[in-house]
Amino acid sequence: MRVLLVKTSSLGDVVHTLPALTDAARALPGIQFDWVVEEGFAEIPAWHPAVAQVIPVAIRRWRQHPLRALRSGEWQRFKARLRETRYDLVIDAQGLLKSAWLTRYAPAPVAGLDRDSAREPLAARFYDRRYSVGREQHALERVRQLFAQALGYPAADTVADYGLDRSQLAAPSDQPYLLFLHGTTWPSKHWPERHWRELAERMSEFGWAIRLPWGNADEKARAERIAAGLPSVSVLPRLNLGGIAKVVAGARACVAVDTGLGHLAAALDVPSISLYGPTLPGRVGAYGRSQVHLCAPGPNAGKGDRHKPCFDELPPERVASELKALLRSSETT
């Protein structure tokens, strides 16, 4: 059986789809998936053994320069590629109008969420087969249930298996290290820089090496300020997604704000402390074993505001205490 999967973004959403592939491969031996995904995340689906082909799409870039996309032939080549393979089914696992629109170009029945389950109800109009999946559960489990219904097997009640081999992805390292994933999008999701600095100082005192990645100039500058004068704290060079995945896979543990890389750490079974301020982890938090969620207790916490800070009452001493406990626990399991 050959299935075309449409799940284009974001990083966390892409990662949350992996366990559904594992479920399907166990229930239907021999099933293969081709995966339509944003070009910036195209490395991730290729890590899963059930994925035969990754089909990059560039919706984000094409929206900025639509005429250039048409004149260059990229859009036409993308549509032609969807028509090259004969699929038994197309699954839109995103439930958005942009993802539903892409399903039109593959000549096969399309399955997706019904209007009461999809993030954008109008997307359901594009589907031949519509399925109800309850909203009051984690996004990862919703995708697993959608796949089970669309492909006709009992929904798995096992612990989510992302299907990734951490040992194969991890880069060699001469010493154990912690990874601080300090970069994120919303201003309100940022844990205060002074807290990162104090956490780095505390963990350095316990003999831990700490690595700080970055993805843009502001994140690099912040990483350099956190590391300044601390010999055991290093700022990594700029890395692509594959490069950062190797660093994540090799870490003894991570501390992360609400960011896609935190979901990647969970998928790679890296023990992690995830810090939540304006968002809550119940439906979209890092999901897996050895994942600890610390939620800010302030009045703005959990309100979904992009700008109001709410992390002042989640101090570094508490994070350090939870991190040390997590490290001890991971050494005994």
> Residue 64's pLDDT band (boundaries 50, 70, 90)?
confident
Could you tell me which residues are beta bridge partners of residue 253? 178
User: Taking a C-beta distance cutoff of 8 angstroms, is the pair 286, 274 a contact?
Assistant: yes
- The pLDDT, as a whole number, for residue 68 is 84
Token pair listed for 247: 């660093």
Quick one: CA dihedral 158, 159, 163, 165, positive or negative? Answer: negative
What pLDDT digit, counting tens, does each position of 144-201 carry? 999 999 999 999 999 999 999 999 999 888 899 999 999 999 999 999 999 999 999 9
Mean pLDDT for the chain overall: 96
Q: What is the mean pLDDT of residues 137-146?
A: 97
Phi, psi (rounded to 5 degrees) for 254: -125, 150
Token pair listed for 223: 């990483």
Q: Does the pLDDT value for residue 70 go beyond 90? A: no
- Which residue in this structure is represented by tokens 């700022």? 235
User: Taking a C-beta distance cutoff of 8 angstroms, is the pair 169, 246 a contact?
Assistant: yes
DSSP SS3 for 159: coil
d(CA 12, CA 21): 15
Q: What is the mean pLDDT of residues 275-285?
A: 95
What pLDDT digit, counting tens, does each position of 216-237 carry? 999 999 999 999 999 999 999 9
Q: Give 265's contacts (C-beta < 8 A, 6+ positions apart).
A: 179, 181, 248, 251, 254, 256, 272, 286
Identify residue 258 by its one-letter amino acid code. D
Q: Does the pLDDT value for residue 267 go beyond 90? A: yes
- Sheet of strand 209-212: strand arrangement: 233-235, 209-212, 177-181, 253-256, 272-276, 291-295
- What angle in degrees, to the nearest 10, is found between the helix axes of 11-27 and 260-267? 30
Q: What is the mean pLDDT of residues 11-31?
A: 98
Q: Does the pLDDT value for residue 110 go beyond 70? A: yes
Quick one: CA dihedral 238, 242, 244, 250, positive or negative? Answer: negative
Q: What is the mean pLDDT of residues 26-53?
A: 97
Q: Does the pLDDT value for residue 63 go beyond 90? A: no
What pLDDT digit, counting tens, does each position of 296-328 carry? 998 889 999 999 989 988 999 999 999 999 999
Phi, psi (rounded to 5 degrees) for 2: -120, 125
> Residue 65's pLDDT band (boundaries 50, 70, 90)?
confident
> Residue 333's pLDDT band (boundaries 50, 70, 90)?
low
